[in-house]
Amino acid sequence: MPTAQGLRLVDDYDVFNGDADGICALHQLRLIEPRCTRLVTGPKREIALLARLPPQEAGRVTVLDLALAQNTQALQALLEEGAEVLYFDHHDPGEVPSHPRLTAYLDQRPETCTSLIVDHYLKGRARAWAVVGAFGDNLDASARRAAKPLDLTEPDLKRLRELGIYLNYNGYGERLEDLYFPPDELYLRLRLYADPLAFIAEDLVFGQLEAGYHEDMARARSVQPVYRDDRCRLFILPNAPWARRVSGVFANALAQADPNLAHAILIQLDEGFLVSVRAPLNRPYGAGDLCRRFPTGGGRAGAGGINHLPESDYEGFLVAFRSAFGVFSQAGSG
Ligand SMILES: [Mn+2]
């Protein structure tokens, strides 16, 4: 429903990353501050979502879990046309525009995520969903810390962790057709639940994602690394929807199983590769920096990705990955 803002007819928008962290962050916010909005989202890798808004028709815009650096121009355009923007994120923001109508809660520390930033903003009033979002971003220690005051049993905590992983799993894939559920549909379904445990018990989403996750993970686990040393491993997955869906959660699972190792997961595309990098969980630095050395790369300290690594850059990437994390890397010898 458009509302009048001054003399403009505008809509309010919620713009969010289609992974667990983005979806849970929005859900927490709207549980406590309900608002009728248009939803803009996509697969996890679609980051530049602000450009989809019509600047002249945007009123209050809330942005969650999307790197500001990849949205700067669109953000400027929105602000110039009169939009009021509230921004929550934990990725590298680049240069943050200073504007009276922009309020930004940005925190790049590797132990936090957008759901936890929103949780802080809401003073913990939708905490259980923040826990799910943090588990989804593979931040187990932070999620467990946030869950302390909820006094959950270990089995319930484990279910919240699984929900985070499955929601995150659903967000991967290069295109919407790879996903089990479009992220906006997923959000609309979990929006009915203040308690994630009730969602798990009542909505069929959990069971469907659980089955898909285990099937895809079993396939991924049968793949052998093409490069390995004592500090890092590199896997190449085939050009298939299951591989695109599972790559991110597979990387997270590998990182948790061997927290001292760095991992790179490459998915074969028609030409080149889609890349996910995870720094060692015990030393969560350098992943984003490594990925940014390639034209379509980005990310944060602990986790990064390259949307398209041309075949001809493969050797260069392997060298860069090994020197960032491998046996002969500086960090490795230090
Ligand atoms: Mn996130």
Q: Quickly list DSSP for 35-102.
A: ---EEE--STT----GGGS-GGGEEEEEEES--GGGTHHHHHHHHHTT-EEEEEE-S---SPPP-TTE
Distance of alpha carbon 73 from alpha carbon 71, whole angstroms: 6
User: Is residue 83 scored above 60 in pLDDT?
Assistant: yes
CB neighbourhood size of 163 (10 A): 27
Q: Is the pTM of this model over 0.75?
A: yes
Chain segment 89-120, per-residue pLDDT in tens:
999 899 999 999 999 999 999 999 999 999 99
Query: 81 C-alpha to center of ligand 1: Å?
Result: 28
Alpha-helix runs per DSSP H in the chain: 20-32, 72-80, 114-121, 127-136, 140-147, 154-171, 183-190, 196-202, 205-221, 241-257, 287-292, 314-325, 330-333
Chain segment 296-322, per-residue pLDDT in tens:
999 889 999 999 999 999 999 999 999
Distance of alpha carbon 201 from alpha carbon 159, whole angstroms: 10
Mean pLDDT value of segment 44-69: 96
Query: 333 C-alpha to center of ligand 1: Å?
Result: 30
Output phi, psi for 133, to 5 deg: -60, -40
**Which CATH code, of 3.30.70.20, 2.130.10.10, 3.10.310.30, 2.60.40.10, is assigned to 223-333?**
3.10.310.30
297, 305 Cβ separation under 8 angstroms = yes
Radius of gyration, CA atoms only, the chain: 20
pLDDT at 310: 98
CATH topology of domain 3-210: inorganic pyrophosphatase (n-terminal core) (3.90.1640)
Query: 138 C-alpha to center of ligand 1: Å?
Result: 9
Mean pLDDT value of segment 41-46: 91
Query: 9 C-alpha to center of ligand 1: Å?
Result: 32
Query: 66 C-alpha to center of ligand 1: Å?
Result: 8
User: Is residue 332 scored above 70 in pLDDT?
Assistant: no
Q: Domain segments of the chain: what residues?
A: 3-210, 223-333
Query: 210 C-alpha to center of ligand 1: Å?
Result: 21
CB neighbourhood size of 215 (10 A): 12
Average pLDDT, the chain: 94
Query: 106 C-alpha to center of ligand 1: Å?
Result: 12
97, 78 Cβ separation under 8 angstroms = no
193 three-state secondary structure = coil
Tell me the residues surrounding ligand 1 (ion) with CB < 5 Å: 21, 65, 113-114, 137
129 three-state secondary structure = helix
What are 8's strand-pairing partners? 5
Distance of alpha carbon 193 from alpha carbon 189, whole angstroms: 8
Looking at this protein, which amino acid is placed at residue 293?
R
